[in-house]
Amino acid sequence: MGLFGVAAVADLAALGMPSSTISRRVQAGHARRVLRGVVKDGPDEPTGDQRAAAALLYAGPSSVISGGEALRRYGLTDPSPDARILVVVEEQRQRTSSAFVDIERTERLPRAVTIDGLDLAPLDRAVIDTVRREDRIDVVRGVLSEAVQKERTTVSRLMAELAAGSQRGTALPRRVLRDELGVGVRSVAESWALELHADSGLPPALWNPRLYDPTGTYIAQADAFFPDVGLAWEIDSRRHHFLLPDWDKTLRRRARMQSYGLVVAHTRPSRLRADRAAVIEELWGSYRLAASRPCPDLRVVAAPDTNSA
| In the predicted structure, residue 219 carries a pLDDT above the cut 50 | yes
pLDDT tens digit sequence for 159-213: 999 999 889 999 999 999 999 999 999 999 999 999 999 999 999 999 999 999 9
In a domain, 18, yes or no: no
pLDDT tens digit sequence for 79-126: 987 889 999 999 999 899 999 999 999 999 999 999 999 999 999 999
In the predicted model, what is the mean pLDDT of residues 239-245? 52
| In the predicted structure, residue 226 carries a pLDDT above the cut 90 | yes
How many other C-beta atoms are found inside a 10 Å radius of the C-beta of residue 34?
Answer: 23
Chain mean pLDDT for the chain: 93
| In the predicted structure, residue 40 carries a pLDDT above the cut 80 | yes
Residues 169 and 66 in one domain: yes
| In the predicted structure, residue 244 carries a pLDDT above the cut 70 | no
Closest CA to 109 of 53, 153, 154, 65: 65
Residues 131 and 236 in one domain: no
Say what the pLDDT of residue 241 is. 44
Residues 208 and 236 in one domain: yes
In a domain, 11, yes or no: no
Say what the pLDDT of residue 165 is. 87
- Which parts of the chain fold into alpha helices (H)? 9-14, 19-27, 48-59, 67-73, 123-131, 137-149, 155-164, 171-179, 188-200, 244-259, 271-274, 276-291
In a domain, 126, yes or no: yes
Residues 218 and 173 in one domain: no
Domain end point (choices 179, 207, 239):
179
| In the predicted structure, residue 309 carries a pLDDT above the cut 60 | no
In a domain, 41, yes or no: no
Say what the pLDDT of residue 166 is. 85
Residues 173 and 85 in one domain: yes
242: containing domain = 188-301
**23 vs 221: CA distance, rounded Å:** 62
Residues 117 and 224 in one domain: no
Say what the pLDDT of residue 248 is. 79
In a domain, 12, yes or no: no
